[in-house]
Structures are given as structure tokens and as C-alpha cells.
Structure 1
Amino acid sequence: MPTENKNGQQTSAETKQRVSSGPNRATLPNSVEAEQNVLCCILRNTEYQLEMIAQLKEDDFYQFNHREIFAAMQAISEQSHMVGDENQANTVGFASVVDYLRREGKLEQVGDIDYILKLNELLPSTANYDEYISIVKRASTMRKLIRICGEVEQRAYSAGSAEEAITYAEEQIFNLSQGGANAGLVSLAEDTAKTMYAINERFVNPGKFRGIQTGFKRFDRMTNGLHGGELIVLAARPGVGKSAMAMNIVENVAKQGKTVAIYSLEMSKQQLIERMLSSMSTVPLAEIKSGQFTDPNASLARIRAAQNTICATMSLYGNDYAQIRPSEISSQCRRLKAQHGLDMIVIDYIQLMNSGIDPKQGRANEVGAITRALKLMAKELDVPIIALAQLKRDAEMRNLKGKDGQSGGGGEPVLSDLRESGSIEQDADIVLFIHREKDEEKGTTKHSLIVAKHRNGETGNIELFWLGKFVRFMDAETLAEQQIAMGGDEPEQQGNGELPDLTEGYRGGDEAEGGEFIPPDEGDVPEYVGEGESDVNIDEFEGEENKN
């Protein structure tokens, strides 16, 4: 325990604390004068004292007596009294601070009434309080950084691997840079007030607190967008289109000026870019892969326009290392957020990730460790993470069997179909399934996005339309808008208020998993075999990049 002199200032036991390294072995950074000035400003400036108190924490003060005085000020400001019909915070002043410290038995420890009086009369003006607060916070941050360096040094001696020590160092420094730390148990009264303020702001300005928009409008209305700290799991059987759906969301989010990090454990970065170019340019992916274009000049012009959009206006970062661990993703994304900002992370897909734990613990435990790490990462970085996942084969077999026990049915996937671990549904805030239902009699294929779990809202099914040649999903509203923009008539609504079935009369196809392109005979139009045909007629369909 540090000892204090008559004025409540720390003696050499604490103020002469030394740093273990460095040529000057200097005392820990602090400014007694700035701390005194801040306390004086709080005592004297009743108009801005609550704002000043809100910017500081008790441990920002180096001097023991200053910490105790500031803690008293905080306690007084959190109490309230009635003024007319309103509750208002008590005013922090010389008399109230002295009274509080006397009742707590700490007045003598901080230097008695004389020291509080000295603080109260220290400055002729409190106009420069921002400058004093800045000095105090800077010194506090430096002390915390020195403490972290000492802890990292100890971890470097005891860590089992270099990666463990580096990850620990990055986590601590990132938390310091973001101002985050484990504050322990705290009163929820302040957070309740902040929540009520946020609710009122949403009422006054509904768009202010909207999350990241995915471009799928009904889904965005159901979820109010994607929010920081959320883990969104997008699952489907192989070949149904989960990677395509994820890249469509990436495209829509990046067009809003957001920064997105993409981790593809299944496909290379070049394959992802080819898919995005196809989707944005409306040039069939098969033609891009083969280089055989039906209209070379027009197709290449549209692809170049899409390339310019990606390079000039989108902030995308990718990693296609197949054995990446959650700790590596976390480390890379911390650096990305610090250097360029970060708004969303996409991982394709969970079951291919390396958990970093002993495989003898079983694959279910490995996947559980991965999803838990991803959820913690989303909270730490305050970004939504979309993690793709595989479904069990049972879901496909049930789909083939059908709801009525007949072949060709459409049994929808359920949460228990998530492959290898129940931890996926447990850790996820939102669980989405892409469901494909084939009607052999009509010769059609329908797709839907199933919101199977939504921790903070409604669930339900959203109809999707698959534009296979362009590796692109669209919802009914967006598809209708595209048709109108192309000069077509606005779709008439059915008697029940829903859009008509745009798939009627068109035969859907399978999105074959994998599959190589087979060059056609000379003069023939290349046939797309990688992602199947479309749910709608797309012969005249145009994307955003070729409207001009």
C-alpha cells in the first residue's frame, strides 16, 4: 500500500516507482499539475463538470489522493435530487466533496480540508479543461502501455509458442487502443439511461441506428441490418449456393463504402474475384473462365467497368490460406481495423478451419472452440462476422424424400442439421439456411433463405431467385426493381398482395458442386455448367455496371 504525506500526496514508495528497462529508468508517466487542474475544473465549472467526469476514470489519476477525490466526485454526480418534476444529478462542489469524504472516513487521507480548498482556488479560469484532461489521459495510457509491456515480457518467458505470446500482446494493445477492458461488475443504471436515450433516438430518427444493409431487403427489415458483435451462420448443403450468397452480400456491403475482410478456405482469391466480376458485370462466369465470349467487346467492357468499381470504390481484403486458425484471423483483423477500418468479416467455411486445439478432443469440440472464438472476436472487434457452415447429409436426404414422404419434396433444414457441433447454433446470433426445392412435375427449382434463429428478432422464410449464369441471388423486391429499371412493366401484385411467381414457365437447374468447364465447339455459345441455370429468365438481365 502506498503511503501519503500530510497533503495526501504519495511518498517515494509509489512516486519513485521505476521502469525495469530503458536507459533512464524514469518514473512512470504522470502530471501532478494536470491532475490538480482537472479536479479544480470539475469543482468550479458546474456547467461542464458531468462531461468532464464522463471522460475520465479513477485509474487515470496517478496520485492516490487524486484518485480518491475523483471517486468522490463520481459518486456525488451519480446521485440525484428533485428539481421541480425532474431528477437531476447533484452538483459537485467544495462542500459536497468535503462532506462525502468526511462521511467515508477518507478526508484526512487525501490532505484534509486544506488540500480540497487549495484545489478549489488553484486556477483563475477553467476554460482549458480539455487540455488538462488530455494530459491526464495521455499519461494514463502510457502507464497502461508500460504495464502491458511488462506482462508481455513475462508471457514471452512462459508461453508455449511464439504465436500465443504474439496474440496476447496484440490483444492487450488492441484493447488499450480501443479503450476496452474487463471492468468487472458495474451498475447497470448508467447503461439503462444510455439505452433509453438510444431508443428515443431510434424513434426520432429510425435510420440512425440501422445496421449494415445486406442488399436483401426483406432480410434487412427483419434484422434491421447486421450489427457489430453478431455472429451470423449461413449454412447449406454443398452446391446449393452458400458461397455465392456470401459473396453477393460482400458485394452489396462493399458498395456502401464498408471495409470487408474475406477468408476463403475453399476457393482461391482469384476464383472469388471471378465470381464477383461475373455478378457485377452480368457476364456469365463460364465465359469469364473460358475466355470465349459471345460478344467479346461488350463483355470485356462490362468486366472492365466492374473491375474499376472494385478497385476504385470497394475496400476488400482477402486471405485464402486453407489452414488458418481463429487466433490468426483475430490478429490480422485487429491490424486491419487499426490501419484501414473494418466493418464486416466473412469466413468460408467453419468446418475447414483449424481450431488449434488437440484433435484428440474430437471434431465436435474443435468446431465448438472455433465458433466460440468467432463470437468473441465479433464482440471484441465490434463487427458482424458471417461464417459459412455445412449441413449434415440428413438434410439433403429429407429434402429428397419430401414432407409428405414422396420423392421430389422439399423438407426444410432445421438447426439440428448443422454439421459436427451443436455449438454452432448456440453461439450464433442469427442462423440462416439456403434451401433449394425442386418440383419435378413442373420442372422448376425454387430457392429460399430461411431465418431459422434470430436472437433479437423474428424468423421466417424469404423467397430468393437464382441467376445461375451470374452466380447471383436476388430477392423479389430487388429483382422487380431491376426489371423496372430495364424498361419493363412494373410487376402486378396478386390478390394476396404478393408479387407474382416470376419462376413460372422457366426451368431451373442444379448448381453442380465443382465441375470443370468443357470448351464448346467453334461458333457455339459457351454453356455454363458450374452453377446451373436460373430461376428466372435472364437473357435481357443487366447489372448495375452496364446501365450507363
Structure 2
Amino acid sequence: MSYEFAEKSILGAMFEENYLILDSHMQARFFQGHVHQTIYTVMRELAQEGKPVDYITVLTRREPSELGGVNYVYGLKRFANVIRFDEYEEMIIDQWKKQETARILHQAIEQDWSGDDVVHVLEELDELNNGREVTILSEYLVTQFERPFLPDQTKPGISTGLVDLDKILNGFQDCEYIVVAGRPSMGKTDVLNHLALQASKDGHMPIVFSLEMNRKTMIDRMIASTGEYNRLRMRDPYKYFTEPQKDRWTPTLNHLNGGGIHINDKSGMTVREIKAKARYIIKTNPTKRSIIFIDYLQIIRPEGNVHNQTVAIGQISNELKAMAKEFDCPVVVLSQLSRASEMRHDKHPVMSDLRDSGNIEQDADVIALLHREDYYERGKAPTNLLEIDIAKHRNGPTGTIKTIYSKETGKLYNFDENYYKRGENK
């Protein structure tokens, strides 16, 4: 692929999604051609002024000849590819860096620079290219002197809605990559729905990527959990709902409708595609605090032709961790476990049971393992207990908590709540 094509795609994507203009790491000098530099400069001027950026507004700021002509500017939208924006941006900046490095080294030879001067300039170039800010420890420490003497202003984590779990995690923290793993039928998707609904209830913006389950089924599960409806009865509410259940149907839907939950059910997505869609939602809802949920890790499509599943999962896991840091929000990802736990006398899962684990154990900030003992005790009365074992917690304690899980409605309750009374006749 030519760099000219990549530049056209970058500019076309910016026309299509204006938030990319200020959100990206691009600078005018990174573009190879003068025309593209001028177009980007005009786009940035308009974006900084808070004005819409399209081919008409751009053409009002410069003579058409400076921009390659009316047809050239208008035609850029044909090259737009928002999904591959990050890839093209990285490619363009890397090429600029190579050219700039060659120029610096040539200049250093001509002007007989010292070795230290060359290293210093190249380090500055690398920092600029990666969009990093140079900070030293003292700059941060200056802000910390009054910390013991003032109330804590740190933004609290996003609550899980489970008191005992919040005690361990202090809620989900920004930049954290959280893996929730379990064998089939342990309730992974219901746990995800519970966490998303709780975040929505608290005024946050859950963004759910349901790569396996379709949107309609996912929403029906959320309705069942919110309204405490038996999912079997949900198949035909007209026939099976009681009158009280029908009476609370509209309030249940209104409650969900006001929650600001986003669900994307496109299958076979890569992390790059997930990032592009999440970025758009986040940038168009700037007042909301985001939390991203993905169901589930093993069916995210890897980039390129990766034939080794363990290598592919390692690549995906690393990209998910980087996404949590880039978006500065929690990223909660469901994961399958291998059959190893079912071969043991004690069926409780351990971290090594993570399927195709790759880098998961290393990358994740939190690993939560789900276990329901009554799943394996088919002949006994169900206890409806779901154990959540925090097997890894990079920034805090580990431990196991119990919660009441209604498989009929998909709802989770705090362990000390009277679940059986609330759950009957649903």
C-alpha cells in the first residue's frame, strides 16, 4: 500500500468522523505531500474552532488550488476507512520518523555533532512521535504534599453492585483490564449483564460487544434480569406472564431505555474494529464515564494470518490491555476455561485453566473465576450459589466471594439478601 493512499484514507476518515482530527496523534508535517498538509491544517483549524469539518467548509478557508482542487477534496471521502485509522496513522508516523532520523543523522555528520547531541535529538524525536509527555518524579511529587491533609478526591471505581466484590476490588478502576472466566453454563454472560446494568444504573455508559450472542437475545436477557422475569416465560409473555408481571413490563423497558447501554453484536471483530467503534461512542458521549464489556475473548479475530491459537490469544490480550490504557476506562472481557477443572476432584477453577491462555495471566489486572458447585451436583437441590474467585488482583487483595444467582432470571444478588422470597413465582 502506498503512503499516499494511507494519507487519503486518514483525511477521508477525518471528514467522516470529525472527532478523529483532534483525537489522533497526527500533525501536518507527518504528511508527505504539501496538499495533504494544507488540507489537514485547515481541518484542524475548523475543529479547534468547534465548527463542522466537511469538504465545503474546508474549501472556504483556502483557494481550491492550494487543496488540490474541488474534486480532489470531495473525492477524499471515497478513501475513508475508520476501522483501519490507527493502522494507517501508525504507518504514516513511522515513515515520517524514518525520514526525519535520516535527515538528522545526515545533518549531524555535516555539522560534526557530538554523540550526546545526536542521542538527545533522536530521543526527542521518539518522544514526539509517540505523543508522550516527558515528566520527572518531582513534578508529580509536588502535587502530593497535601494529600494526607485533604479529603480524597480520587474518582471511585465503577461499582459491581455486589458489596463483597466491591470490598475486594474497590469497583472497576480506569485503565484496568479485567478477565471474567468460567466453564460453559457458569453464568458468564449473566455476570456481564449484571455488571453492565449496574454501571448503567449508576449513571455510567456501558459499551457491550456481544460477539457470540445476537443483540435481541442479549437485550431480552437484560429485560429478564431487570424485571426479574423467568426467561422461559419471556418466550411468550402474552401467554405466560401474570398480570403483575405485565404491569411492570413498561416500567422495566423505560428503565432500560434510559440507561444509555450500547450493544454491538457484530461477530468476528478484531480488537482494532472494537476500538474504532468504542472510540466513536466515547467521543460522541463525552460527559459519560465509559466501561467496555466484551463477550468473549476467544472469538475475537486476530490481526493477520496467525495460525497458532495461543499466540493469537496472546496478541489479542495484549491489545485489550493497551485499549484499557488508551481509553482510560475499565475493559471487562469474558473468557472460556479449559476442561481441566472438570477432570479434578475439586472442580474449582484456577488461573492455569484459562483456555489458550497466551498472555492473559500476565496482562490482566484482575482475573475473576466463576464456579457453581450445584452445576456438578445434579442430584441435589440447587443452592443457587455462584462463587467469584478473584484469583489475581494487581493492585489489591485477592479472595472469593459468594453471590446468589438466579439461573431462571439471570439476576445476581448480594449473598445476604433473601433471594428465595424475591425469586419465587417469577
1:437 aligns with one of 373, 388, 398:
373
1:128 maps to none
Secondary structure in structure 2 of the residue aligned to 1:447: strand
1:451 aligns with one of 386, 390, 402:
390
2:141 maps to 192
Percent of paired sites with the same residue: 28
Letter of the structure 2 residue corresponding to residue 472 of structure 1: K
Shift of 1:163: 6.9
2:401 maps to 462
For residues 1-400 of structure 1, the aligned pairs below 5 Å read: 20-21=34-35, 165-168=84-87, 182-183=131-132, 186-194=135-143, 199-200=147-148, 204-206=150-152, 208-291=154-237, 293-312=239-258, 314-341=259-286, 342-360=289-307, 362-398=308-344
Letter of the structure 1 residue corresponding to residue 413 of structure 2: M
Total equivalences in the alignment: 323
**Residue 205 and residue 397 in structure 1: after superposition, are their counterparts in 2 closer, same or farther (change >3 A)?**
farther
What is the TM-score when the length of structure 1 is the normalising length?
0.53
- In structure 2, stretches of 5+ residues that fail to align are 1-31, 43-47, 50-66, 68-79, 93-127
RMSD: 3.5
Shift of 1:287: 0.8
Shift of 1:441: 7.7
What is the TM-score when the length of structure 2 is the normalising length?
0.68
Q: Which has the higher helix share?
A: 2
Higher relative contact order (CA 8 A, sep 6+): 2
Query: Quick check: 1:423 aligned with 2:359?
Result: yes
**Residue 292 and residue 382 in structure 1: after superposition, are their counterparts in 2 closer, same or farther (change >3 A)?**
same
Larger Cα-atom Rg: 1
- In structure 1, stretches of 5+ residues that fail to align are 1-17, 30-136, 139-148, 150-160, 174-178, 403-410, 484-534, 543-548
Q: Is the 8 A contact 2:233 2:241 kept in 1?
A: no
CA distance in 1, matches of 2:206, 2:138: 35
Secondary structure in structure 1 of the residue aligned to 2:181: strand
**Residue 283 and residue 442 in structure 1: after superposition, are their counterparts in 2 closer, same or farther (change >3 A)?**
closer
Q: Is the 8 A contact 2:228 2:423 kept in 1?
A: no
Shift of 1:192: 3.0
Letter of the structure 2 residue corresponding to residue 255 of structure 1: K
Shift of 1:421: 1.8
Shift of 1:168: 3.8
Shift of 1:213: 0.9
CA distance in 1, matches of 2:91, 2:281: 16
**Residue 539 and residue 476 in structure 1: after superposition, are their counterparts in 2 closer, same or farther (change >3 A)?**
closer
Shift of 1:395: 1.4
CA distance in 2, matches of 1:288, 1:170: 47
Shift of 1:193: 3.4
Shift of 1:263: 0.4
CA distance in 2, matches of 1:19, 1:330: 28
Letter of the structure 2 residue corresponding to residue 218 of structure 1: D
Secondary structure in structure 2 of the residue aligned to 1:461: strand
CA distance in 1, matches of 2:171, 2:396: 11
CA deviations on 1:8-58 (whole Å, 9 max, x unpaired) are xxxxxxxxxx981289x69x89xxxxxxxxxxxxxxxxxxxxxxxxxxxxx
Secondary structure in structure 2 of the residue aligned to 1:285: coil
Shift of 1:257: 1.3
Q: Is the 8 A contact 1:293 1:299 kept in 2?
A: no
CA deviations on 1:332-388 (whole Å, 9 max, x unpaired) are 11111111135100000000110123133x000101111111110010010100000
CA deviations on 1:244-279 (whole Å, 9 max, x unpaired) are 001001001101111111001111111111111111
Secondary structure in structure 2 of the residue aligned to 1:392: coil
Q: Is the 8 A contact 2:225 2:410 kept in 1?
A: yes
CA distance in 1, matches of 2:191, 2:36: 54
CA deviations on 1:445-497 (whole Å, 9 max, x unpaired) are 432110000000000010111112211122224x2xxx4xxxxxxxxxxxxxx
Q: Is the 8 A contact 2:228 2:411 kept in 1?
A: no
**Residue 390 and residue 295 in structure 1: after superposition, are their counterparts in 2 closer, same or farther (change >3 A)?**
closer
